[in-house]
Amino acid sequence: MHTFPIPTPGFGTYRLEGDEAKLAVENALDVGYRHIDTAQIYENESEVGDAIAASGLPRGELFVTTKVWHENLSSDKFITSVQNSLTLLNTDYVNLLLIHWPSPDNKVPMADYLHELKACKERGLTEHIGVSNFTQSQLDEALAILGKDHILTNQIEVHPNFQNKELVEYCHRNNIQVTGYMPLGVGKVMENDVLKALAEAHQTTPAAVALSWLNHKKIVVIPSSTNVEHMRDNLTGKQLMLTADELAKIDAIEPQERIVDPDFAPDW
């Protein structure tokens, strides 16, 4: 089995707020997740920090990811915003710090914010650094700025209904781990006939089949749920083995539709 530098599955906290976020993270840690993914813009770092503290788990057993929002990319805001995230998370460091989105319209030059990102690693504020929502050409630029082997991951939208194949292959060729967000396509995988048939054959759920497929592709996943049964189910995708023929059926799913495309997104 492929071993990931980032624990998979991780637990995603996008759209979770307040007490709901705290309870969801507490439950996720309780059922066995050891990687929690948050971001400055989610406005739940403090609840994530509270849940981690309440769990009583040693910090060394956890992998915590957060992301710098694009309004904090300038050098006068960057490190201060990261220190604020650490305060909210009630930790001295995160395991992975990501650029959440490339600077819209290159308002902040990439070299500026990637050097700030690297400085966070040098200061011990983060163990690893990476990016999110970067295109191939942006990754080319990032690799030219930082050099090889500095960017641990590119966190991108990947699920059976949007397989993002060229970008995934580019990352793997360049030794960049792919982390797939929205790996269940905001629940749309549950309605897919191919996944439903495979789930029935394996006596499991379409979600577990989708996560198994991503695991076979060596993609880290960060599903999100507030339902404890779904959390447990999402953990089982790692144990489910699919045949080459079954994987090929999922590879062939059409249509391919991107879900996340805000107005500040790069030119995909």
**pLDDT computed for residue 3 by the predictor:** 58
The domains located in the chain, with CATH, are 11-191+218-231 (3.20.20.100)
* Binding-site residues from annotation for substrate: 100
Give 248-261 pLDDT, tens digit per residue: 999 999 999 999 99
| Residues 217, 97: Cα–Cα separation, whole Å | 23
264 Cβ contact partners less than 8 Å away, ≥ 6 residues apart: 70, 101, 104
The H or E element that residue 68 is part of is strand 63-68
pTM given for the model: 0.97
**pLDDT computed for residue 1 by the predictor:** 36
Which residues does the annotation mark as catalytic? 42
* Lookup: tokens for 13: 């906290």
* Binding-site residues from annotation: 100
List of the chain residues with pLDDT < 70: 1-4
DSSP 99-126: ESSPPGGGSS-HHHHHHHHHHHHHTTSE
Cα–chain center distance at 203: 27
**pLDDT computed for residue 5 by the predictor:** 86
